[in-house]
Amino acid sequence: MEGKVKVLYLDDEPGNVTGFKASFRRLFDVSGFTDPMEALEEASKGVYHVVVADQRMPGLSGVDFFEKLVKRNPEPIRVLLTAYSDNIETIDAINRGQIFRYIRKPWREDEVLEAVHNSYEVYLQRLEVKQKNDELQKAYDALSRFVYSASHDMRAPLMSVLGVIKVARQDEVPNHMFPYLDMIERSINQLSHFNSQLIDYYTNSRGDSNGVSVDLKQLVLNLYEEYQFFPGAQDIRFTLNCEEDVVFEGDSFRLRIVLHNLINNAIKFHKEDGDDRFLEITIRFEQGNLRLTVRDNGQGMEEMHLERIFEMFYRGTRKNSGSGIGLYIVKEAIEKMNGTIRVESKMGEGTCFIIEVLNVKIL
Amino acid sequence: MKIMIIDDSEIEIFVSTRLLRGAGMVSTIYTFLEAREGLDFLIRHKHDPETLPDIILLDIHMPLMNGFEFIQALEVAASPSIEKIKIYIVSSTADQREVQDSLNYRMVKQVFGKPLDVELLLNAISES
C-alpha cells in the first residue's frame, strides 16, 4: 500500500463535509464536495479508491450520482450514507448504483473506518484481478503467436522434404526404395495437413474478418476443385445444391476453414467401395438465415462419438491418423461467426453436418 | 526459356532446378539465395533481354529482403524488358491472405505451393 486511502466525500451540507474531513483527514486523504456535478467530474478522473455520498441531496440523489459515476468510472468503491427517513429501495439502489456498503446517518466513526477499509480492500483485489487478467491475455496472445510462427517455420522444411522425394523418384533409385519414399511422403503429408490446421486455428482465434462479401457457391466450387486430386476424391460424386447464387456479408476466411475441414473429412472417411458414393453440399437462404449442410453416405459414426467429435484432439478412429483438431476448429470458427453446427450420423450409412448462421446480410 | 529462381533454401533451389531440368524446355537457370543479389543482377541487365530471364520463381519468406520487397524494388527499377518478365510465387505459405497479397502485384501471374509442380507451372506459362 502506498500512501493513504483516497476518499471522495459528497454531501450537500457544508457542515457535514467539514465534519467528515476533520474526523478522517489523519487517516485518509479526503476530498470534500457539496456539488454532485463537481464531485462527478472529479471522481471520474480515476484517482480515488473510495467514494462516499449522501443519499439525500437536492437535484441528484446519492444512488443517481453513483449510477452516473459507474458509467464514467466504475473503479472506485461506492459507499452510501442514508438516514432512516430516506426510505430507499435497497435492491434498486444496489443494482443501479452498484453500492458496496451503506452507512446509517448520523455515522459513527468506527463504522466509517471499517467501511472505508473494507472498500479499499475490495478496490485492491479488483485491481489485482484486472492486472492478472491483463497478464493472462498477454500470455495467451504470445502463445497463439508462437503457435503461428512455429507452424509457419515448420512448413518450409516439410515442403523441402516433399521436394527431395520428388527428385529422388525421378532419379535412378533402386526399386525397393520406392515403398520407403511413399511412406516418408505419406507421413510428411500428414504432418503438413496438421500444420495447416494449426495455422487455421490461429487465423480463426485472432481478430475478425467478418463483413467481407462472400459468394458461397463459388467458394464451394473452388474448394472442390482443390480436392479433385485428393486421394479417393475421384470415386466420390459431388453435388452442390444451391438454388440461387447469393452473395452475402460474412466471413469468407472462416467459411473456407469450415468447408475445407468438412470436405476433407467426408472424403477421408468415405467408404472404400460401394455404389454411388456421394458428397452433397446444400446452401439455402431462408428469411435471412443461412443453412449449409454437408452430407455424405460414407462410413458414418457410432452414436457414442457424436457428442465428443467437436472436442479438441478427440479422435473417434485409429484409421487415418489425424490430429483430432479439425472439427474443433470448425466449431470454434462457426461460433466466431455466431452460428451453430450439429451433426447427424449413422454407422455405415453416412454423416450430415448442419450449419446455421442467423440473420446474414444479403448483398 | 530462361528461369531465375530466388529462394533462401539451398535444398529448394536444388529441388526446383532438378525438377525443371527433368522437364526440359529450360535453357538457362539462374539461382540466387538472396533476393538482393537477384535484384542487382536484373537491374544490371535491365536493357539486355538476351540475358534477362523470362520467368522468375520467387519465394516470399526470406531473410533480409523478402519476396514482396523484391517485387516492389523491381517495380521501381523497371524497364520495358523487365516488365515482360513473369513472376510466379513459389511458397510454402498456408496463409490465404499472403496468397491474396501476392496476386495484387501486376508482375505476379500465379502462386504455387511447394514443392513445385513443374507440370502446373509449364501449363501456366504456356497459357499466359
Per the model's pLDDT, the better-predicted residue between B78 and B3 turns out to be B3
The closest CB to that of A164, out of B11, B96, B113, belongs to B11
- What confidence category does residue A234 fall into, taking pLDDT thresholds of 50, 70 and 90? confident
Distance CA A113, CA A26 (A): 12
A window 63-122, beta carbon within 8 A of B:
none
Cα distance between residue A198 and residue A245, in whole Å: 32
Residue recorded with cell 510465387: B89
pLDDT in tens, A120-166: 999 999 999 999 999 998 888 888 888 888 887 888 889 999 999 99
SS3 label, residue A293: strand
- Chain B touched by A253 (CB under 8 Å): yes
pTM metric for this prediction: 0.60
Separation CA B93–CA B59 (nearest Å): 10
Determine phi and psi for A215, rounding to 5 degrees.
-105, 95
Q: Which residues of A touch B113 (CB under 8 A)?
A: 159
pLDDT tens digits, A89-123 = 777 777 888 999 989 888 899 999 999 999 999 99
> Which pLDDT value is given to residue B84?
93
Do residues A53 and A20 make contact, with C-beta atoms less than 8 angstroms apart? no
- If residue A120 lies in a helix (H) or strand (E), which one and from where to where? helix A109-170
Chain B residues lying within 8 Å of A159, measured CB to CB? 12, 92, 113-115
Residue B91 distance to chain A (closest CA, Å): 8
Residues 39-78 of B with CB under 8 A from A: 61
Instruction: State residue A321's pLDDT score.
Output: 61
- What is the spatial order of strands in the sheet that A77-82 belongs to? A28-33, A5-10, A50-54, A77-82, A101-104
Q: Is the pLDDT of residue B104 over 70?
A: yes
ipTM above 0.90, yes or no: no
Q: How many angstroms separate the CA atoms of B117 and B68, rounded?
A: 22
Tell me the per-residue pLDDT of A155-214, one tens digit each, with 9 for 90 and over.
888 999 999 999 998 888 888 888 999 999 988 988 888 888 888 877 777 766 667 788
